[in-house]
Structure 1
Amino acid sequence: MTDQPMIELNDGRTMPQLGFGTYKIDNREAANAVRTAIEVGYRLVDTASIYRNEQGVGEGMTEGVWLTTKVWNDDQGRREAPRALEASLERLGRSHVDLLLIHWPCPDKRRYLETWQALIALRDEGLARSIGVSNFMPEQIEELVRETGVVPAVNQVECHPRFQQRELRALHERYCIVTQSWSPLGQGGGLEEETVQAIAREADQSPAAVLLRWHVQKGLAPIPKASSQAHMEENFSCLSFTLDAGQMARLDALDSEDGRVGPHPANFC
């Protein structure tokens, strides 16, 4: 359909900007879903051990497609995280992943720092080409950098026009951390926004494509999930047009303090 744009990481590697998310895709359906997404044009697939679909995802992968997985909360720790990655690699049928993330900080456990140290070692061993975090807050990122000197390449967080994470993104910009957006459509709620629908009519695009185009033009890396080829293609079409400055400003104006739709990282574990 169109060339896949790449986004530069702070470790010198480049990552496809638009990805295919597999959250809530059953393991039995994951292989076919991933194959279809790759046929559509996606070159990044995101999974996690807690999704319980790594085996299916691995079966659907082809060479040259970026693969991300994550260390779950129960597997945090200096010894536990390497074992968790070993199990993930076995399920995925891979010798390494392109990106390994700590899934949630779990601040009450106070194990995210030693888990980060474990990920640094796993990167140095070549088992994870790049490493990052997910759902980390500014103070936690600052601690990782202060204590280890290693900056996460990616922080995967909830982000969409109704919840834009501006303070966190400003920190990311300072450290050259890529903001990867989960729930980039606001769990579907953003599709019903009157502003989004109006811009979709103006651009002759779907509301989903408009929302994802906002992410792309902001330099974010969205990972929408889709269960059908039609929705995969609809999402992927965000790479085929551009929103003008006025349309982007109208989407920017949707930001809200109560726009979060997922768990708060301060108290989720």
Structure 2
Amino acid sequence: MPELRENNIPDVTLNNGVTIPQLGFGVFQVPEEQTQRIVEDALAAGYRHIDTAAAYRNEAGVGAAIAASGIPREDIFITTKLRNGEQGTALDAFRNSRTALGVDYLDLYLIHWPVPSQGLFTEAWKAMEKLYAGGEVRAIGVSNFLSGHLDTLLEAAEVVPAVNQIEIHPTFQQQELTAKSRALGIAVEAYSPLGQGADLDAAAVQSLAARHGATPAQIVLAWHLAQGTIVIPKSSRSLRMRENLGAAALTLTPAELAEVTALESGARIGADPAVAAHSQM
């Protein structure tokens, strides 16, 4: 069983022994000028895991919020990601992100997308292994890596990725990929865990929310947490942030979990990693 933090958020232990709060806060599509305020609100609400990326262009706001919070650096888990167009210059890209965040080290650094048409993600991984070996980052991982991408990476890798962050929500669960990742010792992290809000309207989710006196988001997040998946919901509203944290206290029965699982429709919201090649510059 995951250990509980002071805010009752479970910790997941990664394959190198590093622990990560299972319920974190994402800042995808948070405007740069609003990031510091929103992240300060998230930290005040009790989040201790913040997920950003160079491509989001809001790392500096995240760093400013962390500095202003007064919370010890070691109590906050910071993830950022390598921009696609910088896979060939990963060392410089990492250090630019670290500078923008205003920290001495990062907790987790991810390759944002494989971009197979570039053929650079293995090269980027070797650079990240150097950062990991040098203690500049506590764990390294990938995002949006499909089964074949993992196979290619592992043929050359000395370090098995700690995390694979992929799109997962009730209507798009990627069960085979999550099972393979876990079998390889790679923790699974869900982005768009609420289906960007669309999955909250499902009749099963609404019914379970009424049954438990919970919000629909709490039901979906509790479903993720019960499977051991790391989740990073986003909200700009302080009340919603706090409500989402409440999912950690909600327990669904096996039958109730199955109701949510039955919503699978294969409906991807984001880009397909098999072909996605946006530069994110």
Cα deviation, residue 33, structure 1 = 1.2
* 2:87 matched residue in structure 1: 76
How many residues get paired?
266
* 1:206 matched residue in structure 2: 215
Partner SS, residue 45 of structure 1: strand
* 2:274 matched residue in structure 1: 266
1:92 aligns with 2:101: yes
TM-score (norm 2): 0.92
- The answer (yes or no) to whether the contact 1:4–1:41 under 8 Å persists in 2 is no
Task: Report matched runs for 1:1-269 at 5 Å.
Answer: 2-61=7-66, 62=71, 63=73, 64-77=75-88, 80-257=89-266, 259-269=267-277
Cα deviation, residue 147, structure 1 = 1.4
Partner SS, residue 211 of structure 1: helix
Could you tell me which runs of 5 or more consecutive residues in structure 2 were left unpaired when the two chains were aligned.
1-5
TM-score (norm 1): 0.96
Cα deviation, residue 245, structure 1 = 1.1
- CA distance, structure 1, for counterparts of residue 244 and residue 228 of structure 2: 17
- CA distance, structure 1, for counterparts of residue 112 and residue 34 of structure 2: 23
Cα deviation, residue 2, structure 1 = 3.8
- CA distance, structure 2, for counterparts of residue 141 and residue 95 of structure 1: 29
Could you tell me which runs of 5 or more consecutive residues in structure 1 were left unpaired when the two chains were aligned.
none
- CA distance, structure 1, for counterparts of residue 182 and residue 273 of structure 2: 20
The structure-2 alpha-carbon separation of the partners of 1:196 and 1:60, relative to structure 1 and needing over 3 Å to count, comes to: same
- The answer (yes or no) to whether the contact 1:71–1:84 under 8 Å persists in 2 is yes
> Aligned letter for 1:30?
T
- The answer (yes or no) to whether the contact 1:27–1:57 under 8 Å persists in 2 is no
- CA distance, structure 2, for counterparts of residue 67 and residue 45 of structure 1: 5
> Aligned letter for 1:25?
V
> Aligned letter for 1:37?
A
> Aligned letter for 1:34?
V
- The answer (yes or no) to whether the contact 1:2–1:240 under 8 Å persists in 2 is no
> Aligned letter for 1:82?
L
- CA distance, structure 1, for counterparts of residue 147 and residue 41 of structure 2: 36
Identity of aligned residues (%): 41
